[in-house]
Amino acid sequence: MQKTKASADELIALILEGIEDVKGVDINLLDLREIENTVCDYFIICNGTSNTHVNAIVSSVQKKVSKAIHDKPWHVEGSENAEWVLMDYVNVVVHVFQKHIREFYDIEGLWGDAKVTMVESSYNS
């Protein structure tokens, strides 16, 4: 029998830990499961304060997930300019933004029907 994939809850927990490890801010979890024709079940959205910080968040998430459950993103996009990096873990998609880009694209507004959970950081930003 082949090894089963990690549950979405386990993957989400690891991604959130990876974000928090390098102090990503304004973390939201969007549950898209009740919306028809979505590309995935969850979005995780957060901010970095600079392109260096955005890349640090992306790297931290990849290392945390890879080490714990030996999974890697199916696709990563946007690392070159690091204003908006998308990490596609198939049923969980991570968006790491710089604040001004997040405000411009307003993903939460576009997916207004999603159930949004604001993730409290374990540190003060």
Q: What is the pTM of this model?
A: 0.92
Percent helix, percent strand, percent coil in the chain, to nearest 5 = 35, 25, 40
Predicted confidence band of residue 3 (pLDDT cuts 50, 70, 90): very low
Interval 28-76: pLDDT, tens: 999 999 999 998 999 999 999 999 999 999 999 999 999 999 999 999 9
Residues 6+ apart with CB under 8 A from 62: 18, 72, 73, 76, 87
CB burial of residue 110 (10 Å; 0-12, 13-18, 19+): exposed
Provide the residue type at 40 as one letter. C
Domains and CATH numbers, the chain: 8-119 (3.30.460.10)
